[in-house]
A and B are shown apart, each in its own frame.
Chain A
């Protein structure tokens, strides 16, 4: 009998110790917020364009963390969907065209002679990438612009253009050889030419 009592007491003691330890750890090492949201957020392109139907990238990340669709981000495109699918271990679905098409990177350009200085685009810009003040010409800081095109709609004189970014030679890189030169007979028609000669 005393053996059982000792055993129970010992187990109780252990339970109390580890319970206290766990309780302490849960307070001491408490993680604020959902860490997965941060991870998802870091994969999103941060255009803050709202094309996904959420007011910014973080709300979209939160909705994904709650089990929402991962295919609602046109600026990120297939690459983002792939990355999200890998992170969340879900199946990658094609981009939902309801939210827009994947287009090359764009940047907003204000046609400055036409700008009337209404500041509407400045208020619309989610990342403060437009400079200017009331009744003075505005301009876009091209290096900061994410190409979300939220400034285009509020402009009363339609003087904002979205133009594809010219990334120049610095951003050039080799194409994947997967897409090219797969069949020997396709080589610039030379093999075929040789065949004609013979």
Chain B
């Protein structure tokens, strides 16, 4: 793929004349179709003055220029419109005389197609120069004067990057420049601006380089030029005859015009990762820049125009023009037969490293070396990207000796740290990898994106670190302020306590009465304590005496309860007092707190006493049930009525359940179940009661035979009651069975269970009745 240096025809030619310098090769590179013949056949032409000039404030790398003219001001050709802002910045001058019309946001020459601040100058057509400061012999000027002149002239690198030239005229601090290289390779296809410039103004270029050499004092001066420009080589050789500038012809290979590549070719030195050529003692300048330096120093002319190639099949008269900066591209192209229908896009720069212009009215700037208007056939849009087949062609052609495949994977997967480890930032974005990729993968576009993302991330990281620092500083400040406040408060409290203690001591010496007054609340609580203790003792005695009478107990519990309530109220009051004291009387707080704690203890004691007392009363109430059994008859009656009530309630509920709506069924069912349990309990109680009655009656009957009649009287109603209960239960059971027959399927189960229960109950009632009647019979017999 790569042509060897020896086989290049013109290099053999040049080596006949001068071949003292060894030429090296760089890795990779490609040989795209040159297409230079399209535009390098005609001399540079001077287009007419356009009706409007749009001058972006930023046409270079660094800070935008600072505007120094006013709206409506008339300016002369070469007059400064904007000043350099800081070290890495350049000035901007009026390309012709005219009026400052406006300062607007206008699309600028940037791949984003975004707008930037621009000065709009309406030329008056007089093209009137301002006063210039020419200089016949640069040797008479000091180096700093030359640097200042270049700076004032607004010269920025015209090869494409636009780095302020003046900065590069300062030799590096640590050592002198060993090699000054003038980059005349112009390796990109289509572009011939430097070629034509060298052919027509070789002496300007050479003298410009001599001025640079004067400023930098390099060990050697080399012009590196590709062998596809024989006329330019000849012109340069002619111009450089009297100088010690070495015009060095290098083989045509893209991208030999890359700064690092041309340094490698001419000096065999490589610029280390993360460093600039100046670090290895090399300074590289562009041909156009050299010419601009010459004009700036010799004639005092600022940079107001540049040679630009207008080329491509879409332009009828392709060639090179010396366009005024700020000339709108659409106007410029229209002067040379631009056929908008034949072109699908306009490219600023070359086909390899240029970018598509999004706005045709974008102005020419200091870095515009070429406007390419290719037809669809010349520069077809890339076919869709296919999968990488790992052919390795990209690695073969990479001039930076990178691993484009790896970079592609990492960039695509957004694994930017890995891409960085693979030296993504050494990529010069020459596009050779994309050019050779058989799968048409837009490799270099991935790298550009990844680089942008990484830079963005780094910036974000920087910002977030800064934010963290500020946040932590603020936290520290707040903590410190809080600590200071706390310390002050503590000191104040200590002082107050000391003062109080001193006061107290004095008072104690003076009189005891005041101390008593101070502890008055303590005394009252003491009396209370005695009362509660008494109540407690009493309640203890009472609980010990289980047989004690109920009324006494009730009174005792009441007393305890009131005692508890009182202490509670007291405690509340004390709490209030304590709160008050906290606000008004800090020295009393401690005492009151102690008092409150004591009272709290008392309250709990009172409460416990009351609880004990009431519990003991309950046990007594329970024990009293036994003697209550003596009053059998009324008890059983009561139980019976309770049972009946419960039963009737249950019946009602069951009815309600039967008529209930589905969503209420569940609730009612639960209620019914509960009631059933209650009925059961009532029944159980009643059964127990009647059973015990029966037993007693038996005993009575055996023991007291004389009281036959009496027992009859007592038992008769009981049996009757049992009978009625049995009847009721049976009717209930019947009802339930009816209900069961009419019930809905989902209720059947429940109802069945209920019926069965009821059956059991009826059975029990029958048994009870039988027992009762037999007992009565026995009684009767006896």
Contact = CB atoms under 8 A, between A and B. Distances in A.
A172 B449 CA distance: 10
B468 interface: yes
Given A41-B468, A45-B464, A144-B470, A188 B344 contact: yes
Given A127-B471, A175-B449, A178-B412, A44 B464 contact: yes
Interface in B42-101: 58
Given A45-B460, A173-B453, A178-B412, A187 B474 contact: no
Contacts of A129: 470
B465 A46 contact: yes
Given A169-B114, A187-B381, A190-B381, A174 B452 contact: yes
Interface stretch (B264-272, B382-390, B593-601): B382-390
Interface stretch (B440-448, B536-544, B617-625, B695-703): B440-448
A56 B471 contact: yes
Contact of A172 (B114, B382, B445, B460): B114
B471 A184 contact: no
A100 B574 CA distance: 51
Contacts of B445: 174, 176-177
Given A127-B474, A174-B452, A177-B446, A184 B381 contact: yes
Interface in B405-464: 412, 414, 442, 445-446, 448-449, 451-453, 455-457, 459-461, 463-464
A118 B634 CA distance: 84
A139 interface: no
A146 B467 contact: yes
Contact of A173 (B116, B376, B412, B452): B452
B724 to A, nearest CB: 70
Interface string A91-125: 00000000000000000000000000000000000
Nearest to A188: B344
A183 interface: yes
Contacts of B466: 144
Nearest to B114: A169
B473 interface: yes
A182 B386 CA distance: 10
B456 to A, nearest CB: 6
A173 B455 contact: yes
In this complex, the member of B384, B446, B459 whose beta carbon has the largest number of chain A beta carbons within 10 angstroms is: B384
Nearest to B468: A46
B37 interface: no
A126 interface: yes
In this complex, the member of A42, A44, A144, A187 whose beta carbon has the largest number of chain B beta carbons within 10 angstroms is: A187
A57 B467 CA distance: 11
Contact of A176 (B446, B455, B460): B446
Interface in A60-109: 79, 82
Given A174-B445, A175-B449, A190 B376 contact: yes
B219 interface: no
B607 interface: no
A67 B459 CA distance: 29
Contacts of B442: 177, 181
A48 interface: yes
Contacts of A181: 381-382, 384, 442
Interface of A, helix, strand, loop or mixed by DSSP? loop
A174 B449 contact: yes
Given A178-B412, A182-B384, A183-B384, A169 B110 contact: yes
Nearest to A141: B470
Given A126-B474, A173-B449, A174-B445, A47 B385 contact: no
B667 to A, nearest CB: 39
Contacts of B474: 126-128
B112 interface: yes
A42 B112 CA distance: 31
Contact of A171 (B58, B111, B456): B456
A190 B381 CA distance: 10
Nearest to A128: B474
Interface in A129-176: 129, 144, 146, 169, 171-176
A177 B449 contact: yes
A48 B463 CA distance: 13
In this complex, the member of A46, A171, A175 whose beta carbon has the largest number of chain B beta carbons within 10 angstroms is: A46
B424 to A, nearest CB: 13
Contacts of A173: 448-449, 451-453, 455-456
B471 A126 contact: yes
Contacts of A187: 381
A176 B58 CA distance: 26
Nearest to B467: A46
Nearest to A129: B470
A48 B475 CA distance: 12
Given A182-B385, A183-B384, A188-B344, A171 B467 contact: no
A48 B467 contact: yes
B725 to A, nearest CB: 66
Nearest to B412: A178
Contact of A190 (B344, B448, B457, B467): B344
A99 to B, nearest CB: 18
Contacts of A56: 471
B471 A169 contact: no
A190 B343 CA distance: 11
Contacts of B465: 42, 46
B313 to A, nearest CB: 15
A56 B478 CA distance: 15
Contacts of A175: 449
Contacts of B383: 184
Contacts of B453: 173
A176 B416 CA distance: 13
A82 B339 CA distance: 49
Contacts of A45: 460, 464, 467
Contacts of A144: 466-467, 470
B417 to A, nearest CB: 9
A174 B457 CA distance: 14
B111 A174 contact: yes
Nearest to B442: A177
Contacts of A126: 471, 474
Contacts of A171: 456, 459
B472 to A, nearest CB: 9
B420 to A, nearest CB: 14
Contacts of B344: 188, 190
A184 B376 CA distance: 13
Given A126-B474, A177-B442, A177-B449, A172 B112 contact: yes
Nearest to A56: B471
Contacts of A46: 463-465, 467-468, 471
A128 B383 CA distance: 53
Interface string B365-398: 0000000000010000111110000000000000
Contacts of A182: 384-385
Contacts of A174: 111, 445, 448-449, 452
B468 A57 contact: yes
A42 B461 CA distance: 8
B440 to A, nearest CB: 9
A82 B413 CA distance: 12
Contacts of B376: 190, 194
Given A42-B464, A46-B463, 20 more contacts: A41-B468, A45-B460, A47-B467, A56-B471, A57-B471, A128-B470, A128-B473, A146-B464, A169-B110, A169-B116, A171-B456, A173-B453, A174-B111, A176-B446, A176-B449, A181-B381, A181-B442, A184-B381, A190-B376, A190-B381
Chain A to chain B: the 10 pairs with minimum beta-carbon distance, closest first:
A173-B452, A46-B464, A177-B445, A127-B470, A46-B467, A174-B448, A177-B442, A176-B449, A46-B468, A187-B381
23 contacts: A45-B460, A46-B464, A46-B471, A48-B467, A56-B471, A126-B474, A127-B467, A127-B470, A129-B470, A146-B464, A169-B110, A169-B112, A171-B456, A173-B453, A173-B455, A174-B452, A177-B385, A177-B445, A178-B412, A181-B382, A182-B384, A187-B381, A190-B344
